[in-house]
Each structure stands twice: as structure tokens, then as C-alpha cells.
Amino acid sequence: MATAETERVLAVAGEGLEFEGLLRRASAVTPLDDWDIAFACEATVASRSWILVANGAGPTLAAKATTIAVERSRPDAIISTGLCGACDPALPAGSILVATQVVDQHGRCYPAQLPVLPAPAHCGALVSQDRVAVTAEEKAELFAAGPRAVEMEAAAVAEVAQRAGIPFYCIRVVSDDAQSSLPLDFNRYRKADGRFSRRRIALAAMLRPGTIPELIRFDTACRRSAILLGDTLADCRL
């Protein structure tokens, strides 16, 4: 894509913690507290200006955050990023997936441009749905239709990018492999607005103490994956 003196890239995730890796590489960070988005900041990484927004899980919240950020920042490119679950057994946890296309839960397809990454990555279709794929069985059913991974925001981000005429990319990191089920059904602990309730998740874990070691391991894996993702984003070329 054409570059200006300072390239401005909008990155949209579900949760702010998914930006931990990229923020570690930042030389300056400015909060954007007046944007009516749960997490929003501008970060300078090398010579690129990043607008980082995360508004919670699902397409409705992602569309709102992307629309506001596009209006406020006028980015040169938009990246849907963050964690995803593998549907393809060939995708290991901790691997980078570059989406070639994003398919929403209604079958609408959004093409994605391909970045140049600092290390080899997996490529393929991604399915975007308004629920967490919790079990290995659900992931297998999704994979039967073609997508290699699943997440919750990318299609909404792609739709806003397409409407605004801005180049769209999707770079994700796999948090859980296709053979693994998550320790809790996180869909049960979403609020009315779609965001996850940390209080309800913590209470569920207390009521099922056997899940606590699994939750700790999953959280550790997610944070480790976010570091890898941040390094990939910081060093990619669009």
C-alpha cells in the first residue's frame, strides 16, 4: 500500500490485553480516553503510528469501536488482530495466522490483504462469529466448512473497512489448538452488551475449583501469545 511519512495503522482487538506485546515495543503511548471505547490509545512503534482500540467481544462492539476510530484517526490501514482458536488441527497454539478472507456467521465473505511478516506464518480463511468456540467438537464442525480458525470481531472490522475504502488486514495468534476444549464455557459469562464479566468468570471458577489450574494455564498461554503477536505486528510491512 502507499505509505506516508508516518504510516497510521488502526488495530482492533476484543480485549486490551491482546495489545500487551505491541505496547512493549512502543516508545510513546497516549491514552484516548474521550473516544467512548473501552480501551483506546495511540502508540508509536518504530516510525509507525498505531491506533489501538478494543471494545469487548463480538461484532457489535467491534463495529462501534472501528467506526469511531476511523472517524477520529483516518488510518491508512486497518488490522483486525488478537487471539483466535484453531479449527484446523495443523494450527498449533502460539502460531500466527494471516487471514486470506474472513467469513461471518451469515456466510458473507470479506477478502483480506496479505502483509509481509518477519517470520513464516500460516494463511487461510477465518470464521467470525458472535460466540466463543468452546469445545474441540465445535471447532471440528467449523473446520468441516473450510475455515482454519475462529474468532469474534474480524468480520465486523472488515465490513467497516470495506465501507470506508481502507485496506483491511487480519493478523491473529492462535490461543488454543483444535484438539483442546476451553476450561469454561465463556459464552455463559457475557454481559447484556456482549462483554465478558470477569466477576462472573471468577465466581464460576470458585464454584468449580478444578478448573482453576486450567484457567491459569490458559491465561498464561494467552499472554505469551500476545507477546508473539506484538512482535509480529511491530515488524510487519503492509
pLDDT-above-70 percentage for the chain: 98
**90-140: pLDDT as tens digits:** 999 999 999 999 999 899 999 999 999 999 999 999 999 999 999 999 999
CATH dotted code for 8-235: 3.40.50.1580
Asked whether 40 and 46 are in contact (CB, 8 A), the reply is no
Q: What are the angstrom distances between the C-alpha of 218 and each of 125, 157, 227? A: 24, 26, 14
**39-79: pLDDT as tens digits:** 999 999 988 999 999 999 999 999 999 999 999 999 999 99
Measured between alpha carbons, how far is 77 from 64 in angstroms, rounded to an integer? Answer: 17
pLDDT of residue 1: 46
Measured between alpha carbons, how far is 183 from 34 in angstroms, rounded to an integer? Answer: 36
Closest CA to 200 of 214, 178, 223, 184: 184
Asked whether 205 and 211 are in contact (CB, 8 A), the reply is yes
Closest CA to 72 of 94, 42, 104: 42
State how far Cα 40 lies from the chain centre: 14
Q: Which residues pair with 29 in a beta bridge?
A: 43
To the question of pTM greater than 0.85 for the whole model, the response is: yes
